[in-house]
Chain A
Amino acid sequence: MIYLDHNATTPVKSEVILAMTEAMKAGALNSSSVHSVGRMAKKIVEQARARIAEAFDAEDANVIFTSGGTEANNLAISASEGYDPMVSAIEHHSVLKSAKQAKIIPVSINGMVDLRELEMMLKRAGGKCFVSVMFANNETGVIQPIREIARLTHDFGGIVHSDAVQAAGKISVSLKDFGVDMITVSAHKFGGPQGIAALLTKKEIALSPMINGGGQEFGLRAGTENIPGIAGFSAAVELLPENLRQMEEVKALRTYMEKGIKSFAEDVKIFGEDAERLGNTTCISMSNVKAELQLIEFDLAGICISSGAACSSGKVAASHVLQAMGVAKEEAETAIRISLGVDNTKAEIDEFIAVWKNLYTRVNGQRLAA
């Protein structure tokens, strides 16, 4: 099996499994209990919180643990109350569907948020704005000009959230450097466990909790903390610098893959190619071959890829991300996403290219020969 779907989820790192199994075997940990077992649980949670804050340059911010990126994004959107909400057209559904009243910020053909359009929208807005733009897109890997977006929005007195779920672990993510008010990070996208994520938020941002109860997480997110998950999250964060270093190799592998395909398929289109992209992600079309067909072909060859976001990969609708970039529906339907991870090898990429080439020439061979 060749796994090339790391933007959906990543294998859990062995150090993470170790940290989690230790926490799971440590007994009954509830950090709200006052006895010694409870205090040990609290220590795990607070150490993890500090480590995560440090890793994302958010020492002055609150780290609110949630059950995942989707919940964290929903919680971030709760800060839009009283603001004029705006989200980009290429956001993950957890932002698009929870910010129902939001105005949509368009993106350019290269997949980047149109800053001039954003500025006009901010000018036209009646009051202060809440802006949510992801740092890197999950389908194309395109990196957004988040610093400019933050500066612009702040100039107009607004607040900014950035969904950094796909970015964390692949490029450096920094609350301070981005200049945003909130970011979302999720552990299972960089070797941590599923079921745990965090919203990093400046303390002055007013959130309304979605889950009320025991008052955990600064009163913003009730529920017994997922302590093994938090311990695993923390262990994964500790490995982030190493992960980022390895991403250089991943990027070289990705370039090798794209060059390899282009060497024989001149009509290939790589979406967002002109923009700065995550080093591991390629969203690529294959002329005249629908994505579903490609997926079947790759699956038979033992290669795992997807046609877009995992949560919508069961649906037939063409990607909203590509459509927002102005890609025609027919072309969008021929796009697949390849997302590499730190364990992928050159031999695996060669295998991928061979399968891609085989299908491509089978379908397009006659046309090419003619």
Chain B
Amino acid sequence: MKSNIKLPIYMDYQATTPMDPRVLEAMLPYFIEKFGNPHSRSHSYGWEAEAAVEKARKQVADLIGASEKEIVFTSGATESNNMAIKGIGHFYKDKKNHIVTVVTEHKCVLDAARHLEQEGFSVTYLPVQKNGLIDLEELKKAITDKTALVSIMAVNNEIGVIQPLKEIGKITRERGVFFHTDAAQAFGKIPLNVEEMNIDLMSISGHKIYGPKGIGALYVRRRPRVRLEPLINGGGQERGMRSGTLPTPLIVGLGEAAAIAQKEMPLEYARVKKLSDKFYNAVAREIPDVFLNGDEKNRYPGNLNLSFAYIEGESMIMAIKDLAVSSGSACTSASLEPSYVLRSLGVEEEMAHTSIRFGIGRFTTESEIDYAIEVIRSNIEKLRQMSPLWEMVQEGVDLKKIEWAAH
């Protein structure tokens, strides 16, 4: 095989992304000569840092059709999600005590919701259909006059499906309920517009779009005004919503990453789609019994979650260790439990165990995709030849009809 490929091939773009060198270049001066504290109002080091922060705020806002005054910087999307859900819950708790979210949300959204449950809130966890998308009728039914917030993610981190944001926003706006979306996997990758989609709060991550780690943002709508109780108290930075010294270099990095994404999104999307189609056609269409998890159309092409029937997931990951992939969310990947996202799609446990998420991103090359296809093709065959299940299926045994002995 081609020797100019650096191994392992990185295909875990949903966990995190390598930093774009242009982002790093934009950040470096703010580590070195422009090191000021943006809250220092009494000298030019401070003003210089503040100006850089405000430029980045506009770059982030521009990418989602917001005003820069609506962007609050945080340490990352996990904090943003916690801030949105708990912040809304706590602020409006005297009048409302119910929130709606979805079973396939990122763990931090579910944990923040659970945290509110412990405080006496009631939470509706909407199910998803087999394709991973919510049923809008279910959403309509779930909203009551006690509902403070609907929190539904834009692009799912494990299976890449895109929820119908515009339709959800229409419903929440009509019913007078705030709409929060965790856009960690969507921001900078697909077009998002807070006005067209009636989004009231949006969580944004830096390191998922070739920007730095340790920085994110929360979009908080000003008209009609969304208010929230801060998660972190102190010096009153970010208009009192989020205290703490703003890390200027990281913010500059997030702004630059957003600006690059805005400029290059159509081209990048097309490139990722082309590589994704090639990979999908070669792996899922040509190899028997490989299934795509999640809706085929409403998805971000840079995320392909595939189930390989009659193969054990862990041995699969071992066999294809030339590919840095994951079997699902990074946060839960150390546990061997099958993914709760796949289970809520109705994927059988055996199949969920053999599921692998292939991420394709800005730095994936065509030769890497060719190499990856070859690695998978050759290993699947090998692994299946070792699998007794595969043998039985080849002999025409219906596995579902077998009664396994308990042990």
Contacts and interface: CB of A to CB of B under 8 A. Distances in A.
A30 B42 contact: no
State the 10 A-B residue pairs at the shortest beta-carbon distance, nearest first: A311-B235, A213-B108, A214-B331, A226-B214, A195-B247, A94-B234, A67-B75, A304-B43, A70-B244, A223-B78
B150 to A, nearest CB: 19
A11 B35 contact: yes
A309 B250 contact: no
Nearest to B12: A33
B231 interface: yes
Contacts of A313: 39-42, 46
Given A222-B108, A299-B43, A310-B37, A228 B321 contact: no
A24 B24 contact: yes
Nearest to B208: A224
Nearest to B13: A28
Interface size class of B (residues with CB under 8 A): 35 or more
Contacts of B8: 35-37
Contact of A211 (B79, B245, B250): B79
A227 B206 CA distance: 13
A214 B207 CA distance: 16
A74 B232 contact: yes
Interface string B288-312: 0000000000000000000000000
A92 B236 CA distance: 12
A349 B75 CA distance: 37
B248 to A, nearest CB: 6
Given A28-B13, A94-B235, A196-B247, 11 more contacts: A32-B333, A33-B324, A70-B232, A97-B243, A214-B108, A214-B331, A223-B75, A226-B212, A305-B42, A310-B46, A314-B39
B32 A71 contact: no
B59 interface: no
A69 interface: yes
Interface string A12-55: 10001100110011011110111111100000000000000000
Contact of A311 (B24, B43, B243): B243
A97 B245 CA distance: 15
A212 B233 CA distance: 17
Nearest to A296: B42
Nearest to B82: A211
B170 to A, nearest CB: 29
Contact of B79 (A35, A223, A307, A311): A223
B161 interface: no
B111 interface: yes
B31 A193 contact: yes
Contacts of A68: 75, 244-245, 247
Contact of A224 (B13, B16, B333): B16
Contacts of A1: 44-45
A214 B333 CA distance: 10
A213 B31 CA distance: 30
A3 B49 CA distance: 14
Contacts of B103: none
Contacts of A305: 42-43
A9 B36 contact: yes
A93 interface: yes
A198 B330 CA distance: 23
A224 B325 CA distance: 17
Contact of B331 (A66, A188, A215): A215
A27 B10 contact: yes
A95 B234 CA distance: 7
A10 to B, nearest CB: 7
Given A93-B236, A314-B41, A32 B244 contact: no
A69 B24 contact: no
Contacts of B317: 34-35
B213 A224 contact: yes
B75 A307 contact: no
A27 B324 CA distance: 12
Given A24-B212, A93-B234, A97-B234, A9 B18 contact: no
A125 interface: no
Contacts of B112: 212-213
B373 interface: no
A8 interface: yes
A206 to B, nearest CB: 15
Interface string A67-98: 11111011000000000000000001111011
Contacts of B244: 67-71, 94
5 contacts: A33-B324, A38-B15, A70-B235, A214-B108, A305-B43
